[in-house]
Structure 1
Amino acid sequence: MAGGVGGFRATAVHRVRRELRKRRLEAGLSLTALSGSVHYSKAQLSKVERGLKAPSRDLARLCDADLGAGGALLSLLVPETTDPPVDPAPLSTRRTGSCNCRRTARTPSSP
């Protein structure tokens, strides 16, 4: 996980925690008030703001809505990966329509 928290890059967690705190304070909300609005505990929000816990995508979405951030927090969450995106199989090799498998019914064998 190369220094990340909860599957996210450390830099993404750092940016989210700073942005969350900045927007919460600009809105004049305490951790207690925000926790009541987004239905996450004050302790959870505190851990996110201090960088001890990565925010879930759900928490980022709820905070975006409550703080009027317009998706800014959610957009900062970038999953940690070093793998290139996987392209789906070309259309010529994909199966379409119904399965071409044969199902054989099990029947009792005749004597």
Structure 2
Amino acid sequence: MGRPVDIDPEASGAARFAYELRRHRRRAGLTQEQLGRRIGFSESLIGMVETQRRVPTEDFARRCDKALGLDGMLDRLHQDTWPPLPPVPEHFRDWAAEERRATALRLWDPLLIPGLFQTEAYARTLFDEEPGITGEQIDQRLQGRMRRKNTLTRDDAPMIWSLIDEGVLHRPIGTRMIMREQLEHLLDISRRPRVAIQMVPYGARASAGLLGAFGIAEMRGSAYTVYVETQPRGRTVDERVMIAELLTRYDAIRSEANSTFLSQKMIEEAVRRWT
């Protein structure tokens, strides 16, 4: 075991949660493994929460409170630090939490406008076309996707580097009006100071990126988790080898992308095409 990581509880709400969890676990004379057995979570997860590499769930906080006899202290800290997540599918909850926690996000999207940048009409069209989905599920998922966009307007919004394949600008999702509105919105977002959108042109040598979309979350310059789109549902992964591989892939795709200025021109031209 390495030397315990020092935690400044005044640095943030997440730091306070990690500090209090570790302090009370040690006071109870429990190792991470022993606490994990009591609450039904892995030792590694407890270690990641205590080093602020994973956002704890409400259930995790409540189980720790019960196991450590804390009378709801961690649950209250959790609610103050991480307000309830938007209503997103279960497989996406971990990544939705990381979107709010990360100081930077790197996104690659070869097929669709990134979820954080989607208009309501564009997103609804996508959900409508999913086999077997009900009207209630559509409304719930639409609400979740629109609430995720708060990430862009927070005072502490992350820096977002977004790579988008040129084909996304020309792939019809819904009516011409929906596409025009979506691309106008994308253009507006591209002008925000904490968002950099780069289009990857048709002629780019970015075939490795065609295997699927992915996102990389960073905390103070260090990548710590990724989200990978797969069928039928994506997954959030914190394996160091996969993170390193996707960082390399992202840099390779980005090396073929247009500048932010030329990318805005491409989006402008696409807006005129859909008008």
Q: Structure 1 stretches (4+) deviating beyond 3 angstroms?
A: none
Which residues in structure 2 correspond to 1:1-111 (within 5 Å)?
11-77=12-78, 78=80, 79=82
Bigger RCO of structures 1 and 2 (CA < 8 A, at least 6 apart)? 1
Alignment partners' CA distance in 2, 1:17 and 1:54: 10
- Contact 1:60 1:74 (8 Å CA) reproduced: yes
- Contact 1:13 1:51 (8 Å CA) reproduced: yes
Instruction: Quote the RMSD (CA, aligned, Å).
Output: 1.6
- Cα offset, 1:12, TM superposition: 1.7
Larger strand proportion, structure 1 or 2? Answer: 2
The gaps in structure 2 that reach 5 residues or longer are 1-10, 84-149, 155-275
Alignment partners' CA distance in 1, 2:13 and 2:57: 12
| Residue type at the aligned position of 2:13 | A
Encode CA deviations 1:10-32: one digit per residue, 9 max, x unaligned. Answer: 82211110000000000000001
The gaps in structure 1 that reach 5 residues or longer are 1-9, 83-111
Count of matched residue pairs: 73
Larger radius of gyration: 1
Identical counterparts, % of pairs = 33
- Cα offset, 1:46, TM superposition: 0.2
| Residue type at the aligned position of 2:24 | R
Encode CA deviations 1:8-60: one digit per residue, 9 max, x unaligned. Answer: xx822111100000000000000010000000000000000011111111000
- Contact 1:20 1:49 (8 Å CA) reproduced: yes
| Residue type at the aligned position of 2:55 | A
Q: TM-score normalized by structure 2?
A: 0.26
- For 2:56, what is the secondary structure of its paired residue? coil
- Contact 1:13 1:55 (8 Å CA) reproduced: no
- Cα offset, 1:64, TM superposition: 0.2
